[in-house]
């Protein structure tokens, strides 16, 4: 499990860097998809609890450090989302991949509401007005970007798991001489 | 049986470790979150994280900026190339126009000179456009667009603002052929304007003229102007022919060899003025027709 964790952690770091550098140049009207959230959702579907929480927390912590205003809020929201999605996936409610992507959108939308609600309590002065079209737009962007990213992440995860299994394949003992 | 219980034991130990690990992780995460949210300080862990992410962001930003700059430079270069093409086309057009204007100006100057000359002349000349040239050494003729229909007759003289051009050799209905003064078969009675010394100006083709029959003792210098002497009756006196360019006095013989540079450039003739006076007929009637 160590190699997939490291690989996806590295991908998460790369996504944070891309999100905070390259995607900043996208036009404002287009908004910027939260690519890291897509990774959080993927980790919830595919990773076990312990590595999942470790990776999600460390990555969202980075986002918080790089872009957060109120420290700890974004990691908390993402961990809650991770827990919710993980719980649903382990309870076999959403094993079907058909529901996974729409659920990413739904959870992201709810996370936005949560973040806004908590921010309105903690930072009421600097909070901009809630915008339904803006939230919807961001959610749609996350859903749209989740489709190719999930395909990529799945392929990479499968490849890493197969490599690990090949490495663990038991060696055949030579036949005992009669 | 013993194997099963051993495996069961291993599994329970593993799950206990996992649960403990999860609890520890949750505790750490919870503590960190609490510290971050309640403490509100940008602690050492935050600083460490920023120091880790910062260089990565810097590399990506620099690379992206470099790529964007490269793209912008390339696009600018494309624009410059397009602009260059447009400007080049404009220059070509303007040069073309300039050529036309120069040509127009040149024609204007030439016609102006002709007009000035025409006003100075005692006779009423007929202007003719040069339509053809025969530049070979032996013939040295031009064709002009005036002929018998314009009362042009053989033997009439042709002039240009610079001086004598030649003499009408043949005429057709609408065109005439003129023997240039520098043709080897041409001979004109001439004199040195300054000293009034006379001689015969023979055509020498591209070299211009040769002034013959000038005595060695005659006072002539390089640069002296040669004009028509008006003796043969064909050319009126005083029309410019050229300037002395070289004088050679050989030991043998009594005459100097004088080269004369024509006052007009026969290569650049565009218009000539024809003197409609039928001098030849007049001379014929007087039985004084000169040999050409």
- The CA distances from residue B286 to A94, A96, B88, B230, B292, in Å, are 133, 131, 68, 16, 17
Residue B292 is predicted with a pLDDT of 43
Residue B288 is predicted with a pLDDT of 57
The model's pLDDT over A61-81, given as tens digits with 9 standing for 90+, comes to 888 887 777 778 888 889 999
- Adjacent-strand bridge partners of B190: B199, B228
Which residue among A49, A65, A71 places its CB closest to the CB of B40?
A71
Assess whether pLDDT exceeds 90 at residue A23: no
Cβ distance A65 to B37 less than 8 Å, yes or no, reads no
**Pairwise CA distance, residues B226 & B246, whole Å:** 13
Cβ distance A62 to B49 less than 8 Å, yes or no, reads yes
- Closest residue in B to A20 (Cα) is B57
Q: Which of B36, B59, B62 to mutate to test the interface with A (most CBs of A within 10 A)?
A: B36
Residue B281 is predicted with a pLDDT of 66
- Tell me A131's DSSP state: -
pLDDT greater at residue B183 or residue A13: A13
Q: Which residues of A touch B (CB under 8 A)?
A: 13, 16-18, 20-22, 25, 49-50, 53-54, 57, 61-62, 64-66, 70-73, 75-76, 79
Cβ distance B37 to A71 less than 8 Å, yes or no, reads yes
Q: Which of B19, B31, B50, B56 to mutate to test the interface with A (most CBs of A within 10 A)?
A: B56
Residue A177 is predicted with a pLDDT of 52
Chain A partners within 8 Å of B37 (Cβ): 70-73, 76
- The CA distances from residue A32 to A125, A140, B206, in Å, are 24, 11, 85
Residue A41 is predicted with a pLDDT of 92
CA distance B66 to chain A (A): 12
Q: Which of B35, B46, B62, B63 to mutate to test the interface with A (most CBs of A within 10 A)?
A: B46
Cβ distance A65 to B61 less than 8 Å, yes or no, reads no
Chain B partners within 8 Å of A22 (Cβ): 60, 64
pTM attached to this predicted model:
0.52
Cβ distance A57 to B29 less than 8 Å, yes or no, reads yes
Cβ distance A50 to B21 less than 8 Å, yes or no, reads yes
| Of B135, B265, B160, B244, residue with least CA distance to B199 | B244
As a whole number of angstroms, the longest Cα–Cα distance in chain A is: 85
Residue B140 is predicted with a pLDDT of 79
- Closest residue in B to A66 (Cα) is B50
Residue A158's H or E segment, with its range, is helix A132-168
The model's pLDDT over A152-177, given as tens digits with 9 standing for 90+, comes to 998 998 888 888 777 765 555 555 55
List Cβ neighbours of A94 (8 Å cut-off, separation of 6 or more).
A45, A85, A88, A100, A103
Cβ distance B36 to A71 less than 8 Å, yes or no, reads yes
Residue A170 is predicted with a pLDDT of 59
Residue A178 is predicted with a pLDDT of 47
A·B CB contacts under 8 A: 66
Residue B244 is predicted with a pLDDT of 93
CA distance A36 to chain B (A): 15
- Closest residue in A to B62 (Cα) is A21
Computed over every residue of chain A, the mean pLDDT equals: 82
Mean pLDDT of A117-135: 80
Give the confidence band of A20 by pLDDT, cuts at 50, 70, 90. confident
- Adjacent-strand bridge partners of B178: B142, B168
Sign (positive/negative) of CA torsion B206, B208, B212, B218? Answer: negative
Give the confidence band of A28 by pLDDT, cuts at 50, 70, 90. low
CA distance B69 to chain A (A): 14
Q: How far is CA A83 from the centre of its chain?
A: 11
pLDDT greater at residue B240 or residue A29: B240
Assess whether pLDDT exceeds 90 at residue A87: no
Assess whether pLDDT exceeds 90 at residue A9: yes
Successive 10-residue mean pLDDT values, chain B, 292 residues: 66 79 83 74 79 85 86 86 90 91 85 78 81 70 87 88 87 87 86 89 86 89 90 81 90 87 86 80 61 44
């Amino acid at each position: 499990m160590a190699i997939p964790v490291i690989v996806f952690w590295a991908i998460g770091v790369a996504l944070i860097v891309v999100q905070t550098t390259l995607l900043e140049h996208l036009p404002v009207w287009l908004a910027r998809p939260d690519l890291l959230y897509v990774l959080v959702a993927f980790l919830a579907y595919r990773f076990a609890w312990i590595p999942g929480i470790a990776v999600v927390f460390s990555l969202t912590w980075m986002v918080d450090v790089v872009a957060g205003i109120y420290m700890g809020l974004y990691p908390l929201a993402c961990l809650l989302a991770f827990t919710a999605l993980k719980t649903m996936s382990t309870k076999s409610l959403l094993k079907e991949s058909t529901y996974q992507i729409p659920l990413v959108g739904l959870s992201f939308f709810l996370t936005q509401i949560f973040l806004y609600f908590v921010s309105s309590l903690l930072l009421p002065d600097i909070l901009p007005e809630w915008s339904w079209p803006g939230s919807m737009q961001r959610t749609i962007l996350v859903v749209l970007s989740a489709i190719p990213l999930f395909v990529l992440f799945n392929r990479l995860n499968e490849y890493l798991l197969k490599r690990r299994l090949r490495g663990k394949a038991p060696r055949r003992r030579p036949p005992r001489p009669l | 049986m013993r194997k099963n219980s051993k495996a069961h034991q291993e599994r329970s130990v593993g799950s206990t470790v996992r649960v403990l690990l999860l609890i520890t992780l949750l505790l750490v995460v919870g503590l960190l979150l609490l510290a971050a949210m309640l403490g509100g300080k940008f602690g050492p862990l935050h600083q460490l994280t920023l120091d880790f992410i910062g260089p990565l962001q810097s590399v990506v930003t620099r690379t992206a900026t470099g790529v964007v700059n490269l793209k912008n430079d390339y696009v600018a270069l494309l624009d410059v190339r397009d602009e260059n093409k447009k400007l080049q086309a404009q220059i070509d057009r303007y040069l073309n126009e300039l050529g036309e204007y120069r040509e127009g100006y040149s024609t204007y100057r030439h016609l102006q000179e002709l007009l000035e000359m025409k006003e100075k002349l005692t006779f009423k000349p007929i202007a003719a456009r040069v339509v053809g040239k025969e530049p070979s050494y032996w013939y040295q003729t031009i064709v002009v667009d005036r002929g018998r229909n314009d009362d042009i007759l053989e033997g009439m003289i042709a002039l240009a603002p610079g001086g004598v051009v030649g003499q009408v050799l043949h005429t057709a209905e609408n065109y005439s052929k003129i023997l240039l003064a520098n043709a080897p078969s041409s001979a004109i009675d001439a004199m040195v304007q300054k000293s009034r010394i006379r001689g015969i100006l023979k055509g020498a083709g591209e070299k211009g003229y040769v002034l013959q029959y000038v005595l060695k003792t005659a006072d002539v210098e390089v640069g002296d102007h040669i004009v028509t002497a008006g003796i043969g009756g064909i050319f009126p006196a005083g029309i410019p022919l050229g300037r002395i360019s070289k004088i050679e006095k050989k030991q043998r013989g009594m005459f100097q060899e004088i080269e004369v540079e024509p006052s007009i450039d026969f290569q650049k003739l565009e218009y000539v003025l024809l003197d409609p006076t039928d001098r030849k007929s007049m001379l014929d009637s007087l039985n004084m027709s000169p040999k050409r």
